[in-house]
Structure 1
Amino acid sequence: MNITNPDLSPARKDYSKTVFLPNTAFSMRGDLTKKEPVMLEAWAKTDLYGKILAKRRGAKSFILHDGPPYANGPIHIGTALNKILKDMVVKSHALMGYYSPYVPGWDCHGLPIEQALLKEMKMGKRHIEDIPAFRRSAREFANRFLDIQREGFKRLGVLAAWDKPYITMSNSYEGTVIKAFRELLEKGHIHRDKKTIYWCVSCETALADAEVEYADKTSPSIYVSFPLETLPAGLYAGAPGCASIVIWTTTPWTLPSNMAAAVARTEEYRVLETGGRHLIVADKLADAFLAATGLEAVKGALVAGEKLVGLKYGHCLAPHLPEARRFARQVIAADFVDMTTGTGIVHIAPGHGEDDFHAGKKWGLEIFCPVKEDGRFNADAGIFEGLKVFEANDKVVETLKADGLLLGHKKIQHSYPHCWRCKQPVIFRATEQWFLKVDLDGLREKLLKAADGVRWLPEAGHERMAGMLKTRPDWCLSRQRYWGTPIIAVYCKECGKVQTDSAFLKKIEERVLAEGSDFWFSEPVEKLMGPGHKCSCGAAEFRKEKDIMDVWLDSGVSWYAVLEGGMLGPGKFYPADIYLEGSDQHRGWFQTSLIPSVALRGG
């Protein structure tokens, strides 16, 4: 091209007359900001969703059951993608001739809502004095963001029963949750017990396995000697106290709660002679122990783990604990003691560890837990009273060092459980809670069989789910919070027995269906129970349960409310054809929906 010739310059050419296009109703510009509202308004006015359903009514159904997002903020890329994918599935099946109603849901209870509200109110849990008023505020908060999210999803072009969603804080839904709880209780699946469970000291509540995430944490790594008060025959002829067993721990704050030390019966243990002391560790770990502590020692006699069982030792913090807590502890045997890390001798605190708890039950140990809800030690912890558990680590280490019992100390980084909401480290804490038994009446095996009958995409999801079901503990259902479906239970003030009268539970259930559950938090127990009620012990004074249900049970029985509750129209829709969620829901909603479903319906 000769660009110097002005007659040939592109600016001088009128190319519009050289291109021939057919006439079209499509405008040259998108003008989406103007057209989108018009399109959405037209869909709403013509009830496009309703017309599609009416056209397919009577046809074979295809049901996508919606996993509910939390109503605690505007939609984001994750929730938007989730709804778009579901919309594609539902619309495509409607086009293929299926009756495919889509009832969206919202999770409106629980810690996510409470935390967002408390942040907005600039206050903490301990500042809540008027629980009914706080629940009203939580309801308003959830409703506000439910409406915001609903409009956001509509703008994405998602067709659904937006005017009739399932909402976990609605009267009918709360009534369904309480009904499911009652039926599980009547079947024996739900019970109250004292167990060691995950506890968030920041949120001051129990947590289920699905509410725990793992992240790196820096912790102290210490080796501590426990002076033996009795010795196996022929091992050492010196004075008692000159020989010690050695433990390793990354949680020094649990040492005030020590109740035993566990060894492996079938392993051999080595006596290490160093600086006038005789230290006993697993023979397989002796070299690693010496390398970690920098101690020099002469290797002495070997002793079988079996011979260590039953020996008495003095508590490493005895002088600093209340007099009643200074008694001698004993060496026990446990199958979980391994030879990969530490010393082959495990410090046992039944109030602060799952394995420890089971060992404590087996050996008849006290399930001792001197830690309060806020993570501070009570008076049973002696000089550590008032300290928060993680703050106490340094003081425990300093005390052990001053007493000459600290053999090694350094900092390590390791994977540690954290709260899913506040992201703070959690602890194990022994408390009385409500649990769903996963091993009653072969439930675990039934869950695995049900998982086998599901088509998983990708297929690796099946292995992941099966692995979780094989190892999961009983489900901790109770939460020490305020915004949620209440656990309907009453206790005798005299004997502490839980009153599980079905007639009473059904009466409360019917009230909740009619008016919601707020009355449970405001009415006195006498009014709730009515006149003439007596415990089997003869007492007539009661107190009501203050805990609420795990929010995962709320959403976990959504199939009961939606698929069996008539929300999809006349007909039978249980079970759903598809659950479509992110992979995080294998340990979340997928699992917590499967458990009550199989427990109540058998699969």
Structure 2
Amino acid sequence: MSKPERDYSETLFLPQTDFPMRAGLPQKEPELLKRWQDTDLYKQLRENAKGREKFVLHDGPPYANGNIHIGHALNKILKDVVTRSQQMLGYDSNYVPGWDCHGLPIEWKIEEENYRSKNKGKPNFSNPEAMVAFRQECRAYAEKWLNVQRDEFKRLGVEGDWQHPYTTMSFPAEAQIARELMKFATNGTLYRGSKPVMWSVVEKTALAEAEIEYEDYTSDTVWVKFPVKDADVLARNAGTHTDRLTLTEHLSHASVVIWTTTPWTLPGNRAVSFSPKIAYGLYKVTDAAPDNWAKFGDLFILSENLAGEVFKQARVAAYDKVADVPAEVLAELTLKHPFAGKGYDFTVPLLAGDHVTDDTGTGFVHTAPGHGREDFDVWIANRANLEARGINSSIPYTVDENGALTDAAPGFTGKRVINDKGEKGDANEAVIKALIEAGMIIARGRLKHQYPHSWRSKKPVIFRNTPQWFIAMDKQFSLSIGAASSPGIARNDQRTLRERALDAIAETRWVPAAGENRINGMIESRPDWVISRQRAWGVPIAVFIKERPDGSVDILQDPDVNVRIVEAFEAEGADAWYKEGAAERFLGKRAAEGWKKVDDILDVWFDSGSTHAFVLDDALHFPQLAGIKRKVDGGDDTVMYLEGSDQHRGWFHSSLLESCGTRGRAPFDVVLTHGFVLDENGRKMSKSLGNVVAPQDVIKQSGADILRMWVCASDYADDLRIGPEILKTTADTYRKLRNTIRWMLGSLAHFKDDERVSAEKMPELERLMLHRLVELDAVVRQAYADFDYKKIFAALSAFMTSDLSAFYFDIRKDALYCDPYSSTTRKASLTVIDYLFRCTVTWLAPMLCFTAEEAWLSRYGADAKSVHLEDFPKVLAAWRDDKLAEKWRKVRTVRRVITGALEIERAQKRIGSSLEAHPIVHVSNEELFEAVADVDMAEVCITSALTLVRDEGPDGAFRAPDVSGVAVVPNLAEGTKCARSWKILTTIGADPEYPDVSPRDAQALREWDAMRKAAE
């Protein structure tokens, strides 16, 4: 063929776009952020959505004390995908970011930076001026980090009302938190009680379960004797029953044996618990070394299942069982304290308890009601009976705030359980030594086990009996007047807080569904909510009290006093509580009545648990959220909470209890939880391992959309993994999607809306793509409604790379580039690509917010509205054609065999491109032959020609192992290569005016030349 006389490339409709192949996201994304800020996208979204049903994602407040980490990024990206997708599904989907600002971490940081590091003493908080000044330092610190985090969250592409966030330290919020507390005081569930609570010696405050993490800890263990004090009661009740009299004689010389991992709690022991479900026996030591703690002839009462293990630990060589000891006998016995005669001369009763098992230990549980919840519960349950038996039922305060044993622990006063550094003190060893001296120990050891630690200080905590403020879980109450916002909640409703919370859990949608069982179990078993902390930076428990002789208190119920408190907080913040003369100011005329101001602060979980009250219910400060009417209240609006799975015991938990206690129902309709972020090997991230992935670094190197893609492609319900290789794979996938979008944009440069082709006039291949859009539309909408983003991402990624790039676009490039301008196929394809672009880009927009916006503006111009103001496109149901889809499934099956044969030819260098081939395709499968019979398979397989034969085919033909009835003989194409389309055809030169091209290309050139001439 002679060299063409003209450059045909200028006559092709090749893709034209400014949308770059290399994304340059780190540079492009800040430009788009500025655009959204300049155009006030958040305001436009609200105006666009007026009148729609509301979908509000209420932000769980992150803590304002440092740069964000990868877990923050995961959380905020998920929230943004939720709100953007719900908006595009047709809701008024709103997001108001918020921050948790009170609490110990900030207080500690101020003490460290402003005091300890400068060798300055901690402020004297009894001085009002010093207290307020310190609190203002804490406020400034929180404000600083809030601003840093706000910029970092915005950089992730998170859209929300960043100009008007909520904070727990704002004056209106502090006032509302006080109001919420007052509601519990009014309904009678707030009380001050003396209970064992988890206490941080290092932090000098009580802690809630949500502030605890369990870590390995090595404890001292001891097996201790509690000698029987009074077995005569058995004899007195035995009459002449010989067996009972004999048992009485034996028991008079026996000891109950307990096992404990906390020897330091023995001075606080007041009882021993047993289980009526366990079989107990009386055992006698018959062989033991002379220097053994367990001596020959000793009598011990033990669980039958555990006796062997106990004697093994006590190095007893032989023993005999003397008798069974029934539970009714145990219930009648009383014991001596191991330190009897040394200040512990009280009676130790045996009490039945459901918490006692025979899995480990001895079958008996040493019971110190001041040092454990179950100990406390069993003691209180028996208190009336104990007093009737003449046993003092008071609970001693044996450990102070410094972890030191008090005067209530004779012989051990001043011994430390844990020191100020969180290290094990000398109390255990002192108690063990005393036990040995008293002859009350039969064995000792050490046990490595999971033990509660403060998640802040990382140091072990202790259970300590101390006056604290609680909200009762099991006290019946009715809602305060005006508190019930749900029409379904009756004024005479007397359910307990636990009952209300469990009912609310059942009415909530949990994603994933397993979250319901998790929080349900936590609420079922949780103790009363301890809400007091002994610190300085927080909202005070703003009530006044009078103490009773028994240690309980009366709480002042005076609406006028409450109003004065709240008004002061709104004007001055909670600092007003600590200012000079605060008590007199708030009490007014009642100042002389002896009411005392409480200076404990609220648990920060109460603060954050109250956020719904000063965000969702505060139309004055958050008008954009005004008018929410949830389904539980007879409306159609939805409120979602979304946090990590640890918040089942944290924010979800406290919010549920707070709202159920003040409004009778949950503050949320939907709760979504995600896992934690681990490194690529499934390890927890730590600086020491060098495996920390900082979101700031990923954004700087690759862009926020790569992080967003990682989030959306992952199964967030489980723990997620991230690292260099995972990010590389994510970037590769992103590149493929971007190039697909880029090709669509380039092709659409030649599309004019007035040349749109209706579906019924389109070729089958275009109608197949429209059908696929209908299928995907259903998948995408349902998955967005189900918050299943990995399903959407997987479906769109497969569609764009397999259905579009590798199939439809590959086939249609010839028609799009080379067909005449007037070609119906070309115009139909452009019409479909326009639909494909609008659908795929809007479907991707919630996930890849920057890339979708960049593509949208590239398509519609810099003055176009944001893609995020679009709803998901309405895909016509009439486009669905299942019969056509089934036919083309078969066509693609045959195509796969043909392309497989051509790949071998290309690998063997017998052809360069598929256009050099003219395969002979033998089809014996009747269904497959019928499917391809009327299809231009040369076009579909991108060959210059293709012959279809209805037979088995020769033995040497190519066959795919998973497709029967199709054989391919890959012959070379015959003819001359078209200078324009590069097809090898026998019709080249059929049009003498264009001798080096095919007739199709000749017609295209004729139209091209005519248009150019007309343009001149």
With normalisation by structure 2, the TM-score equals 0.54
**Which of 452, 475, 484 is equivalent to 2:506?**
452
| Structure 2 Cα separation of the partners of residues 263 and 451 of structure 1 | 35
**Which of 97, 110, 128 is equivalent to 2:103?**
110
Equivalent residue number for residue 84 of structure 2: 91
CA contact (8 A) 2:583 2:597 kept: no
Aligned pairs for 1:157-306 (under 5 A) are 157-231=157-231, 232-233=234-235, 234-235=245-246, 242-265=253-276, 267-274=278-285, 275-295=296-316, 296-306=318-328
CA contact (8 A) 2:561 2:587 kept: no
| Structure 2 Cα separation of the partners of residues 154 and 521 of structure 1 | 36
> What is the CA-CA distance between 1:31 and the residue it aligns to?
5.0
| Structure 2 Cα separation of the partners of residues 240 and 273 of structure 1 | 11
Greater relative CO (CA pairs within 8 A, separation 6+)? 1
Aligned pairs for 1:13-32 (under 5 A) are 22-26=15-19, 30=23, 32=25
**Do structure 1's residue 141 and structure 2's residue 169 form an aligned pair?**
no
CA contact (8 A) 2:111 2:122 kept: no
> Which ranges of structure 1 fall in alignment gaps of 5 or more residues?
1-16
**Do structure 1's residue 430 and structure 2's residue 465 form an aligned pair?**
yes
| Structure 2 Cα separation of the partners of residues 515 and 453 of structure 1 | 39
Greater shift in the superposed pair: 141-150 or 337-346: 337-346
Would the alpha carbon gap of residues 530 and 342 (structure 1) be closer, same or farther in structure 2, given more than 3 Å must change? closer
Equivalent residue number for residue 4 of structure 1: none
Greater shift in the superposed pair: 281-290 or 125-134: 125-134
Matched AA of 1:378: T
State the SS of the aligned residue for 1:248: strand
> Which ranges of structure 2 fall in alignment gaps of 5 or more residues?
1-9, 125-129, 236-244, 286-295, 384-392, 418-423, 477-493, 631-636, 666-1016
Would the alpha carbon gap of residues 569 and 65 (structure 1) be closer, same or farther in structure 2, given more than 3 Å must change? closer
CA contact (8 A) 2:254 2:299 kept: yes
**Which of 603, 610, 614 is equivalent to 1:557?**
610
> What is the CA-CA distance between 1:264 and the residue it aligns to?
2.8
| Structure 1 Cα separation of the partners of residues 178 and 469 of structure 2 | 14
Aligned pairs for 1:353-432 (under 5 A) are 353-364=372-383, 365-389=393-417, 390-391=424-425, 392-432=427-467
Matched AA of 1:72: N
**Which of 65, 71, 86 is equivalent to 1:72?**
65
Would the alpha carbon gap of residues 226 and 563 (structure 1) be closer, same or farther in structure 2, given more than 3 Å must change? same
**Do structure 1's residue 63 and structure 2's residue 56 form an aligned pair?**
yes
CA contact (8 A) 1:352 1:369 kept: no
CA contact (8 A) 1:349 1:368 kept: no
**Do structure 1's residue 600 and structure 2's residue 662 form an aligned pair?**
yes
> What is the CA-CA distance between 1:236 and the residue it aligns to?
6.1
State the SS of the aligned residue for 1:518: helix
> What is the CA-CA distance between 1:106 and the residue it aligns to?
0.2
> What is the CA-CA distance between 1:207 and the residue it aligns to?
1.7
CA contact (8 A) 1:525 1:542 kept: no
State the SS of the aligned residue for 1:317: coil
> What is the CA-CA distance between 1:223 and the residue it aligns to?
0.4
> What is the CA-CA distance between 1:542 and the residue it aligns to?
3.6
> What is the CA-CA distance between 1:494 and the residue it aligns to?
8.2
| Structure 1 Cα separation of the partners of residues 616 and 206 of structure 2 | 30
CA contact (8 A) 1:235 1:301 kept: no
| Structure 2 Cα separation of the partners of residues 166 and 201 of structure 1 | 33
Aligned pairs for 1:1-40 (under 5 A) are 22-26=15-19, 30=23, 32-40=25-33
| Structure 2 Cα separation of the partners of residues 528 and 352 of structure 1 | 39
| Structure 1 Cα separation of the partners of residues 213 and 409 of structure 2 | 29
> What is the CA-CA distance between 1:263 and the residue it aligns to?
2.5
> What is the CA-CA distance between 1:551 and the residue it aligns to?
0.7
State the SS of the aligned residue for 1:149: helix
Higher alpha-carbon Rg: 2
Would the alpha carbon gap of residues 398 and 558 (structure 1) be closer, same or farther in structure 2, given more than 3 Å must change? same
Would the alpha carbon gap of residues 371 and 150 (structure 1) be closer, same or farther in structure 2, given more than 3 Å must change? same
Deviations 1:443-494 (A, max 9, x none): 3232222211222111111111111121112111111111111101223378
Equivalent residue number for residue 742 of structure 2: none
Q: Give me the CA root mean square deviation.
A: 2.7
Identity %: 42
CA contact (8 A) 2:576 2:582 kept: no
State the SS of the aligned residue for 1:73: coil
| Structure 1 Cα separation of the partners of residues 505 and 548 of structure 2 | 45
CA contact (8 A) 2:172 2:570 kept: yes
| Structure 1 Cα separation of the partners of residues 246 and 93 of structure 2 | 76
| Structure 1 Cα separation of the partners of residues 436 and 13 of structure 2 | 91
CA contact (8 A) 2:226 2:337 kept: yes
Matched AA of 2:643: E
Matched AA of 2:89: M
| Structure 2 Cα separation of the partners of residues 331 and 448 of structure 1 | 34
| Structure 2 Cα separation of the partners of residues 52 and 525 of structure 1 | 45
**Do structure 1's residue 541 and structure 2's residue 594 form an aligned pair?**
yes
Equivalent residue number for residue 528 of structure 1: 585
CA contact (8 A) 1:105 1:167 kept: yes
State the SS of the aligned residue for 1:289: helix
> What is the CA-CA distance between 1:141 and the residue it aligns to?
0.7
State the SS of the aligned residue for 2:408: helix
> What is the CA-CA distance between 1:136 and the residue it aligns to?
0.8
**Do structure 1's residue 586 and structure 2's residue 644 form an aligned pair?**
no
CA contact (8 A) 1:492 1:498 kept: yes
Would the alpha carbon gap of residues 494 and 263 (structure 1) be closer, same or farther in structure 2, given more than 3 Å must change? closer
With normalisation by structure 1, the TM-score equals 0.90
> What is the CA-CA distance between 1:258 and the residue it aligns to?
0.8
Aligned pairs for 1:303-314 (under 5 A) are 303-314=325-336
Would the alpha carbon gap of residues 336 and 22 (structure 1) be closer, same or farther in structure 2, given more than 3 Å must change? closer
Matched AA of 1:527: E
| Structure 2 Cα separation of the partners of residues 105 and 230 of structure 1 | 62
| Structure 2 Cα separation of the partners of residues 312 and 24 of structure 1 | 91
| Structure 2 Cα separation of the partners of residues 24 and 195 of structure 1 | 71
| Structure 2 Cα separation of the partners of residues 126 and 437 of structure 1 | 38
> What is the CA-CA distance between 1:256 and the residue it aligns to?
0.6
Deviations 1:314-356 (A, max 9, x none): 2212455xx4x43332333333322222222221111011111
> What is the CA-CA distance between 1:288 and the residue it aligns to?
2.2
Would the alpha carbon gap of residues 362 and 577 (structure 1) be closer, same or farther in structure 2, given more than 3 Å must change? closer
Would the alpha carbon gap of residues 576 and 599 (structure 1) be closer, same or farther in structure 2, given more than 3 Å must change? farther
CA contact (8 A) 1:492 1:540 kept: no
**Do structure 1's residue 345 and structure 2's residue 364 form an aligned pair?**
yes
**Which of 472, 476, 484 is equivalent to 2:526?**
472
Would the alpha carbon gap of residues 531 and 24 (structure 1) be closer, same or farther in structure 2, given more than 3 Å must change? closer
